[in-house]
Amino acid sequence: MTFRLLLSLSICAGGLTACNEASDDKSRSVDRGQFVYAKECAACHGAVGEGAGSASLGLGVAAPDLTGLRQRNDGQFPREFVRRFVMGVLEKDDPDAAMPDFARVGLRHVYPEGGADGEVLETDFEALLDYLEAIQR
């Protein structure tokens, strides 16, 4: 049994209710993230993150598989890289690549009723990252 597992077991034993609440919050966040992913990313990155979704075919660059991010990053899910890449802070490999700059366009399919231009609610973005972390193989 790993040290981390032991640690979380002892924390949970100390406060079972708090522990259940925390994991409920996490699974709610992952569910919300799945919804955001389906609206904003699945067309290109595939229904379950496997890559090469139909909207990215014929664009020249097929959208990469997102379930292998952890594997391609020495076993660590690169949360900060994904955050910065999706928000357009990092230079894309191909400047003409189709990946939208979400800091500019916002989660426009999640908020079809509008809201501020380029709107990305922090909770929704964290939920998206939680979902992506959860689908790593």
Instruction: Give the distance from CA 26 to its chain's centroid.
Output: 13
97 binds ligand HEC (CB under 6 A): yes
Nearer residue to ligand HEC within complex by CB, 15 or 60: 60
Tokens matching residue 42 = 């699945």
DSSP secondary structure code for residue 51 in this structure: S
Asked whether position 92 contacts ligand HEC by CB under 6 A, the answer is: yes
Closest to ligand HEC by CB, 93 or 117:
93
Task: For 96-109, give the DSSP string.
Answer: T-----HHHH-STT
User: Which residues here bind ligand HEC, judged by CB under 6 A?
Assistant: 40-41, 43-45, 55-56, 61, 63-64, 66, 82, 85-86, 92-94, 97-100, 102
